[in-house]
Structure 1
Amino acid sequence: MKKLFYTLVMVFLTFISCQDNNRDENLLALALASEKPAIKRVMDSVDQYEVQIRYTQINRTGDSIHFVDYDFQVDDDYYFYPASTVKFPVAVMALERLNETDTLTRETRYYVEGDSIETTFAKDISQIFAVSDNLANNRLVEFLGQDAINKGLEEKGLSPVRIAHRLGYHTDELTTKPLIIYLNDSTTTPTEPSLNSAPFPLKLNAIHKGIGYYEDDEQINEPFNFSLKNYYPVSTQHKLLKRVIFPEKFSNNERFNLTKNQHDFLLNAMHTLPRKVGYDPDNYYDGYCKFFMYGDTKKTIPDHIKIYNKVGFAYGTLTDCAYIKDEKNNVDFLITATILVNKDGIFNDNVYEYDAVGIPFLAELGREIHRLEIERKN
């Protein structure tokens, strides 16, 4: 009888051990070992593509949440151009500033001095996530100022980071433009401009890339210099995403000062698809700004899958930072990944393998992690 009892105990402990090992299994390594062509093509020449990935497994016990992070080549000292992913912290910081300004709300109407576009903060944030609108982002940069953005992020433990410039066009202007705020239908008031620090040259690995670039329609046969560009590495992107999705996991000084209403608005904006806010679905299909799982298809994303994310693509670099939640299969996870697809090594020639290599890789990676998460759950 004692022998039977001992045997049953050992079987139970072995079962629990297997469950624990499965719970913390490195699904990222399994996904990257996939024989799917879109993944294998990249992994067979991984150094060429400068891939960096951080995946977070989310484990729950009752009301408790436990994160397990897995990395592939994540390196803060190895530079990649973050492109439009920097719009995510800008949008969050803008909401925080609104909460700390008694005279402004999300629905306050305004325009930038010298510009004719009249908008609201809510509309700008919606456009940033739905279609990655550059002008919407730049208006919020004028509202905040680069120094305030960088300082606010670093105070919350979100570093390294350096937001140095606006997007969509080049300017060395360090002074923000005033916003013309509507107090009512006929009365306006300007905001005070801010003078921001000049960006210092970044000293990072791979800060000079490729073998040439185009400038004013002329090819310059030397590496492209990114040292004065924005800097927002995978680790910082992922930390920001965690704070936004799971603020309760962080101390008060690490959280953003958002009301529940503002936080709900932000989460809704992050997952809302372009067609839901009036964009033409033929041009702005569901996967337009959702690279993981759906970037390589124009199919409709099922209602039970919500992707809270921000993508970026420029200079041959594709990046996505996402929290993916499948309500039907009761799985969720966080993943941030970047890949460079510039086979000829020439920048600004608009010859990049976005559709042939980069987006298929990110889409397949998202699907593989999602599939493995469902298996783990079951």
Structure 2
Amino acid sequence: MHNLTSAYLDTLLQARSARLGPVMDNPKEYRLQVIYTRIDRKAGNQPVFTDFYYHLSPDQYFYPASTVKMPAAFLALEKLNRLKVDKYTPMYTDSLAGITTAVTEDTSAENAQPSVAHYIKKIFLVSDNDSFNRLYEFIGQEEFNQALWDKGYPASQIRHRLDIALPPDSNRHTNAIRFEKEGKVIYQQKDQVSTLSFAPRQDSVGNAHYKGSTLINAPFDFSLKNRLLLADLHNMLKSVIFPESVTSASAFRLTEDDYRFLYRYMSQLPTETRHPAYDTAEFHHNYVKYLMGGADGNAQLPAGLRIFNKPGWAYGFLTDVAYFVDFDHGVEFLLSATLYANKDGVIGDDKYDFETTGKPFLKALGEIIYEEELKRSRKYKPDLKRYKIDYNGIQQL
């Protein structure tokens, strides 16, 4: 299996292996992949990127879990712009018999109305599954995949909703939707059926799995599950953080207001919002901050640091895709990583090594890269005001 490793990152991680824990003893067993992008600025603040890789392998499957919500947010905003519909416009979803229910209200929103904006907010603040499903239904399976392929991500396969066990054919069906403003329907779409053909795959992981309560002594077949490559997720995030750095063919068609909106909710903490008002014991400040935060409610990040990211965790796989900005020290970098923390090899038993191995590894990895960045000299200090958010002056949704 082909994998790409940069000498610099290999040397750095090996030198810090004791701190990184058991993953570094056998990175292949943990299916570890890492991408680190160093960012330097020219005199006019234009970014220059240098990529470093560790065991990056497009052939090695990982279950993307909730990271699929990130392109869903980008594509939903892109579709709204094409339709000339405001992201705050109430969006009502019809039921689809035997598949998903209707949505006529959202009591977690200040105005109790569902909207693309509020779904995206919940996706980035706490990784809400239903919000992804509603955006998947708005975009449609066929358009979702075709748009990613057209932007240069041909290995992507977004095949199903999350947290709902449905047969593949049901996930081809998406609900009728309408947008209303002041009682008037300004856009509606009928229920859709995707006719897309996906390239066949052979993606099996583990040595046993549960089907219901039955243990089957065979690997779990992920071939009909969602797939995104780590490099693609990394580049999707990069294209939104640095829209001027990508070709128009691969760019998401977003407005400046969309970028401001995304930057806010990708970096805001669940403890900093009133709508929804989250139980901060469960949804603590690091709830979705895996790299450097370790998803650890007791860990404190540097005061000037903000992380713009989207993680995913399921079936033993942990992934985080992130842009880091330390406004106090003028530091910025991109870091993405995925690993498989499931020592017993059984999928579906809910006995994964997230707490003991996966989260501590991602925390340490983020800290190590951050510490290296603090030491690194820069010819030109970056102007980071584009990413500076006043989290108190929020438009509450």
Q: TM-score w.r.t. structure 1 length?
A: 0.88
How far 1:343 sits from its partner (Å)? 0.9
Counterpart position of 2:119: 124
Does the aligned pair in 2 maintain the 1:201–1:227 contact within 8 Å?
no
Counterpart position of 2:99: none
> 1:202-247 CA distances to partner (integer Å, 9 max, x unpaired)?
435xx11111111121111111000011110111111111101111
Please say if 1:76 is aligned against 2:58: yes
Counterpart position of 2:371: 371
Counterpart position of 1:9: none
> 1:55-77 CA distances to partner (integer Å, 9 max, x unpaired)?
11111221232111111111111
Please say if 1:97 is aligned against 2:99: no
- Mapping 1:292-307, distance limit 5 Å: 292-298=291-297, 299-307=299-307
Counterpart of 1:227 in structure 2: which amino acid? S
Q: CA 1:36–1:223 in structure 2 vs 1: closer, same or farther (change >3 Å)?
A: closer
- Mapping 1:101-180, distance limit 5 Å: 101-102=83-84, 104-114=85-95, 115-116=102-103, 118=105, 119-171=114-166, 172=168, 173=170, 174-180=172-178
Q: Please, which runs of 5 or more residues in structure 2 have no aligned partner?
A: 1-5, 96-101, 106-113, 379-397
Does the aligned pair in 2 maintain the 1:291–1:359 contact within 8 Å?
yes
How far 1:180 sits from its partner (Å)? 3.8
How far 1:34 sits from its partner (Å)? 3.8
> 1:157-199 CA distances to partner (integer Å, 9 max, x unpaired)?
2332111111111213111011243232476974222211366
Does the aligned pair in 2 maintain the 1:275–1:285 contact within 8 Å?
yes
Counterpart position of 1:194: 192
Mapped to 1, the partners of 2:361 and 2:87 lie a distance apart of 37
Question: Please, which moves more after superposition, 54-63 or 106-115?
Answer: 106-115
Mapped to 1, the partners of 2:351 and 2:211 lie a distance apart of 15
> 1:43-98 CA distances to partner (integer Å, 9 max, x unpaired)?
11222100011111111221232111111111111111100001000100000111
How far 1:297 sits from its partner (Å)? 2.8
How far 1:289 sits from its partner (Å)? 0.5
How far 1:27 sits from its partner (Å)? 5.5
2:230 to 229, 234, 249: 234
1:53 to 34, 56, 67: 34
Which contiguous aligned blocks of 4+ residues in structure 1 show a shift greater than 6 angstroms? Answer: 186-189
> 1:111-163 CA distances to partner (integer Å, 9 max, x unpaired)?
32132452111110000011000000000000001111111122222332111
Mapped to 2, the partners of 1:46 and 1:120 lie a distance apart of 42
Counterpart of 2:269 in structure 1: which amino acid? L
Counterpart of 2:139 in structure 1: which amino acid? L
Question: Please, which moves more after superposition, 171-180 or 299-308?
Answer: 299-308
Counterpart position of 1:11: none
Does the aligned pair in 1 maintain the 2:323–2:332 contact within 8 Å?
yes
Counterpart position of 1:5: none
- Mapping 1:343-358, distance limit 5 Å: 343-358=343-358
Mapped to 2, the partners of 1:308 and 1:155 lie a distance apart of 25
Mapped to 2, the partners of 1:303 and 1:125 lie a distance apart of 25
> Secondary structure of 1:286's partner?
coil
Does the aligned pair in 1 maintain the 2:157–2:198 contact within 8 Å?
no
> 1:293-317 CA distances to partner (integer Å, 9 max, x unpaired)?
1125323444411101100000000
Mapped to 2, the partners of 1:363 and 1:199 lie a distance apart of 39
Q: CA 1:65–1:129 in structure 2 vs 1: closer, same or farther (change >3 Å)?
A: same
CA RMSD of aligned residues (A): 2.0
> Secondary structure of 1:54's partner?
strand
Mapped to 1, the partners of 2:338 and 2:309 lie a distance apart of 13
Identity of aligned residues (%): 36
Mapped to 1, the partners of 2:215 and 2:307 lie a distance apart of 39
Mapped to 2, the partners of 1:88 and 1:270 lie a distance apart of 9
Question: Please, which moves more after superposition, 144-153 or 361-370?
Answer: 144-153
> Secondary structure of 1:50's partner?
coil
Counterpart of 1:93 in structure 2: which amino acid? L
Does the aligned pair in 1 maintain the 2:178–2:185 contact within 8 Å?
no
> Secondary structure of 2:365's partner?
helix
Q: TM-score w.r.t. structure 2 length?
A: 0.84
Counterpart position of 1:268: 264
> Secondary structure of 1:254's partner?
coil
Counterpart position of 2:393: none
Counterpart position of 2:220: 224
> Secondary structure of 2:173's partner?
coil
Alignment coverage as a number of residue pairs: 351
Does the aligned pair in 2 maintain the 1:211–1:345 contact within 8 Å?
yes
Q: CA 1:303–1:178 in structure 2 vs 1: closer, same or farther (change >3 Å)?
A: farther
Counterpart of 1:66 in structure 2: which amino acid? V
Mapped to 2, the partners of 1:266 and 1:319 lie a distance apart of 20
Mapped to 2, the partners of 1:149 and 1:373 lie a distance apart of 36
